[in-house]
Amino acid sequence: MNSCLYEGRVRHRRRAELSDEFSYPLYMAYLDLDELPELFDGRWLWSARRPALAWFRRSDYLGDPAVALVQSVRELVRERVGVQADGPIRLLTHMRTFGHCFNPVSFYYCYAASGPRAGEVAAVVAEVTNTPWGERHSYVMAVSETADHGSTALMSASFAKQLHVSPLMGMEHTYRWRLTEPDEQLAVHIASERPSGESVFDATLSLRRREISPTALARALVRYPLLTPRIMARIYGHALRLRLRGASYFPHPSRPAASR
């Protein structure tokens, strides 16, 4: 089984104008899409077939809900970066829990089945969702054919910001991403920079692998009840605190023409 849980912490750090930071513990599901929906069969609190306390629901993710998520991801990767992601697609995400789903960012690790990177990650899709608007945008990163397998810095990439995610940060920013390959540990670092190169904000995800078992699944729900509503509450509370301290306000621009 390639699917597992990852558990650890995420840290958000504001570095410009009004410095501030907060962190909290969390878990995320790491799902090999080829192992769904059978992965949770016989585990009545978890499901990829029907509503449950922890539910993988296809329509919570990119593409047409009538099309298999694997197919949607492969088509997106091919269109954006020209990579044939013909191997497994493994998704790091917050599943819908207690009827609620919110993913600030989900990551699709796209493996190659052939070519120079056969058996290794060939591309990563970062699907970002904002709140309260519920808009999505996917950033697609191709892994260099010369990247070292198992490197602590699997990949780095830069993108112009395409989605309004906070009323306290403008759109004229560049995202810089660093990711490690999923293994016993997994890390993601995202920095947001102004055109001058000044770092405005960063977020760091540091996780450790937990094998899927009845005990691990039950523990996740008990230890992290209402996880995604709590994530939203932390985001809103942090924004309110900064706004009350005098942080600049940036209204939502026009809705992006393409949000996929």
Contact in structure between 199 and 14 (CB atoms under 8 Å) = no
- Rounded to an integer, the average pLDDT of 83-88 is 92
- Cα distances (Å, whole numbers) of residue 259 to 26, 75, 99, 135, 161: 27, 15, 24, 7, 13
User: Does the pLDDT at position 117 exceed 80?
Assistant: no
> How far is C-alpha 153 from the chain's CA centre?
17
Residue 107's pLDDT is 98
User: Does the pLDDT at position 202 exceed 80?
Assistant: yes
Per-residue model confidence as pLDDT tens digits over 26-54: 999 999 999 999 999 988 899 999 999 99
User: Does the pLDDT at position 165 exceed 50?
Assistant: yes
Highest mean pLDDT among 20-29, 146-155, 237-246 belongs to: 20-29
Per-residue model confidence as pLDDT tens digits over 210-226: 999 999 999 999 999 88
Alpha-carbon distance 231 to 180, whole Å? 23
- The pTM of the full predicted model, rounded to 2 decimals, is 0.92
User: Does the pLDDT at position 168 exceed 80?
Assistant: no
Q: Give the model's confidence band at 257: pLDDT under 50 very low, under 70 low, under 90 confident, else very high.
A: very low
> How far is C-alpha 204 from the chain's CA centre?
12
Instruction: Name the DSSP class of 112.
Output: B
- Smallest CA-to-CA distance from 118 within 88, 141, 82 is with 88
Residue 148's pLDDT is 54
Residue 122's pLDDT is 93
- Cα distances (Å, whole numbers) of residue 154 to 20, 21, 148, 209: 29, 26, 7, 17
Alpha-carbon distance 54 to 57, whole Å? 10
